[in-house]
Structure 1
Amino acid sequence: MDDLVILANDRDRRVLAWLRETQGDSVILNALSQLSGARKPYLSNVLKILNLQAPDNLLLTDRDVARAHLAHLKAMLPKS
């Protein structure tokens, strides 16, 4: 399913997992068939077709994941 929609970040991955768990793949595939165009859609477009909103707790990044991302970004900065 990951290759059928644009997953721009970890939040999108969490939302897709929730969507698959709550709605099922067949509902998602049906929503994808309703979208026009031959390109991969953003996950937000699929949610709009299904008239759904992701729960707020999925929109927040886990504290440990956020710290790991920040540590990675800090490591990329030049040392002064």
Structure 2
Amino acid sequence: MQNDYDRQVLAWLRGRIGDAALQSVAQRLAGPRKPYLSTICRSLGIRPPSRRQFAAETARMHRAVGDTYLARIREILAKAPSHEAPRQ
């Protein structure tokens, strides 16, 4: 693993082909050093998503999580009794 992009590609590959297939390809390509993920992808004839695509997906996930939390906060606030001072 060289960087965060490599970690994202590895997770993507694991989801796409599974751990057993990934391990098999890595062992087949292994020489004195472990093969690069780009080498594994080329041997499989697939192209991983770009850094930009990963970033866009991450942003979508973060927005979805934020929207979920905001909806929950709104629910809590809607159920909370009002604490306004009495008017005179």
> Whose RCO is larger (CA < 8 A, sep 6+)?
1
Superposed CA RMSD in Å reads 2.0
1:39-70 CA distance string (max 9 Å, x none): 11111111111111012313x4867xxxxxxx
Q: Is 1:22 paired with 2:16? A: yes
TM-score (structure 2 length as normaliser): 0.54
Which protein is richer in helix relative to its size? 2
TM-score (structure 1 length as normaliser): 0.59
- Change beyond 3 A, Cα 1:20–1:36: closer
Displaced runs of 4+ in structure 1, greater than 6 A?
Answer: none
> Which consecutive residues of structure 1, in runs of 5 or more, have no partner in the other structure?
1-6, 64-80
> Which consecutive residues of structure 2, in runs of 5 or more, have no partner in the other structure?
60-88
Give aligned-pair identity as a percent. 39
User: How many residues are paired up?
Assistant: 56
> Aligned partners of 2:17 and 2:31: how far apart in 1?
23
> Aligned partners of 2:9 and 2:18: how far apart in 1?
13
